Amino acid sequence: MDKKILETVKELTAEQLGIEVDEVNEKSSFIDDLGADSLDTMELVLALEDEFGIEISDEETEKLKTVADAVKYIEDNK
Amino acid sequence: MINLEGKTALITGAARGIGKEIAIKFAETGCNIAICDLDKEKIESTIDEIRETGVEAYGEVCDVTSMDSVKDMVKKFLEKFDKIDILVNNAGITQDTLLMRMSEKQWKNVIDVNLNGTFNVTRSLIRSMMKNKYGKIINISSVVGLMGNAGQANYSATKAGVIGFTKTVAKEYGKRNIYANAVAPGFIETDMTEKLSEKAEKDLMNNVSIKRKGKPEDVANLVLFLASDLSDYITGEVISVDGGMRM
Ligand SMILES: NC(=O)c1ccc[n+]([C@@H]2O[C@H](COP(=O)([O-])OP(=O)(O)OC[C@H]3O[C@@H](n4cnc5c(N)ncnc54)[C@H](O)[C@@H]3O)[C@@H](O)[C@H]2O)c1
């Protein structure tokens, strides 16, 4: 897993959800572990799109459950 | 007092009538304007009029009942303007007749423009508004969506539907600084009400306290208020502009 992407995703996640970066690890589930609601997830996706210059469709968004899922998606689509 | 400089508004069905008046009123306060409609010629003449105020204005032919057409229109406008701050879902039609004579087609046509059209355009723009963390959405409902009206089962159903939709959008996106309100006009003099019979017109006017018909400008003034920061603590609301037709 690309360390740099992972760090950026963790930072954006923490910022978006108003929590500390060290509360987030690659296994964290956005909804179950970090308390995101579906709108938070959407907004995080928008932030990731901006940061990495990618597009994440609504169907793909549904599949991104954990930090690792997001990192993998970014690696594959960057 | 109201200054929309630096903002851009998308107004549907704005080649004539209430939508056109809204576009012009917005432009007079410095707002850049994007309009769509079915009527190409009228779009062009309306755009010319709007540009006289000095703002940037563009029009697109777009049928709001077609999601593809709407997506394409929104994409083009976002390329031209970068962001759209204000959305006015105004495109609407009537196909009046008593329920017992109403065909399935008449029912569906009206739902398609007034309700599905509102969904299509809002759905296509909401992501971009979320990104900007700002949006003022104003949906044009109608007083008959609140009180019903003989001969307008289809139309009143759509206008009531728009109110439920508006409140839901207000709840879903309030946190993101996106506002959604509905406006419920009464009897306004436009091409839409032109085709009413004299009797129907008289019956409607009987219930109006302010003894004149409404003008597109009366509606546009309220929409302008809801698009401006004067209404920054108002969302999920339905405001009538009907001269007291429904109290
Ligand atoms: N006039 C009234 O008394 C009154 C009262 C209450 C609510 N309203 C609402 O106000 C809005 C504007 O009405 P108006 O009186 O200006 O009517 P209008 O008929 O003058 O204007 C409606 C505009 O919408 C456009 N339009 C229709 N179908 C479309 C489609 N599929 N895609 C894109 N554009 C389309 C038309 O070409 C037209 O330019 C409507 O939603 C109407 O229901 C009007």
Rg (CA), chain A: 11
Instruction: Domain ranges for chain A, please list them.
Output: 3-77
The yes/no answer to whether this complex scores an ipTM above 0.85 is: no
User: Chain A to chain B, count of Cβ pairs less than 8 Å apart?
Assistant: 11
Which pLDDT score, from 0 to 100, does residue A58 have?
Answer: 83
pLDDT, tens only, B15-69: 999 999 999 999 999 999 999 999 999 999 999 999 999 999 999 999 999 999 9
> Is B155 a catalytic site residue?
yes
Percentage of chain B exceeding pLDDT 90: 95
Give A52-69 as a DSSP string. HT----HHHHHH--BHHH
- Structure tokens belonging to residue B202: 């008289």
| Full-model pTM | 0.93
Q: Is the CB of B140 under 6 A from ligand 1?
A: yes
pLDDT of residue B142: 98
Residue recorded with tokens 């609504």: A58
Q: How confident is the model at residue A39, as a pLDDT?
A: 86
Q: Label residue B1 by pLDDT band (50, 70, 90).
A: confident
Pick the more confident residue, B234 or A40: B234
Residue of minimum CA distance from atom 19 in ligand 1: B192
- Residue-wise pLDDT tens digits, B114-129: 999 999 999 999 999 9
**Cβ contact, residue pair B130, A50, below 8 Å:** no
Residue B168 pLDDT > 90:
yes
- Asked if the C-beta of B175 comes within 8 angstroms of chain A's C-beta atoms, the answer is yes
Residue B71 banded pLDDT, cuts 50, 70, 90: very high
Cβ of B242 less than 6 Å from ligand 1: no
How far, in Å, is the centroid of ligand 1 from the Cα of B54? 26
Picking from B159, B154, B158, the residue whose alpha carbon sits closest to that of residue B142 is B159
Q: Are A39 and B176 inside 8 Å of each other by CB?
A: yes
With CB atoms and an 8 Å threshold, state whether A39 touches B131.
no
- Quote the minimal CA–CA distance from B137 to chain A in Å: 18
Mean per-residue pLDDT for B179-201?
94
> DSSP assignment, residue B167?
H
Compute the Cα dihedral for B29, B33, B38, B39 and give only its sign: positive
Q: Out of B155, B173, B179, B233, which one is annotated catalytic?
A: B155
Q: Do B173 and A42 touch (CB under 8 A)?
A: no
Give the CATH number of domain A3-77. Answer: 1.10.1200.10
Long-range contacts of B37-44 (CB under 8 A, 24+ apart): B37/B12, B37/B13, B37/B61, B37/B62, B37/B91, B38/B62, B38/B63, B39/B15, B42/B15, B42/B16, B43/B15
**For residue B151, what pLDDT is reported?**
95
Residues B217 and B198 sit within 8 Å (Cβ to Cβ): no
Mean pLDDT by 10 residues, chain A (78 residues): 93 94 95 91 91 90 94 93
pLDDT (average), residues B195-213: 91
Nearest residue of A to residue B127, measured between CA atoms: A46
Average pLDDT over residues B151-166: 98
Q: Does B172 touch chain A (CB under 8 A)?
A: yes
Contact (CB, 8 A) for B159 and B166: no
Per the CB < 8 A criterion, the answer to whether B125 and B84 are in contact is yes
B114 CA closest ligand 1 atom index: 41
Percent of the residues in chain B that have a pLDDT greater than 70, as a whole number? 100
- Token readout for B145 is 């969506």
Residue B143 CA to residue B225 CA, distance in Å, equals: 19
Band (pLDDT 50/70/90 cuts) for residue B209 is: very high
One-letter amino acid at A36 equals A
Q: Which atom of ligand 1 is nearest to the CA of B63?
A: 32
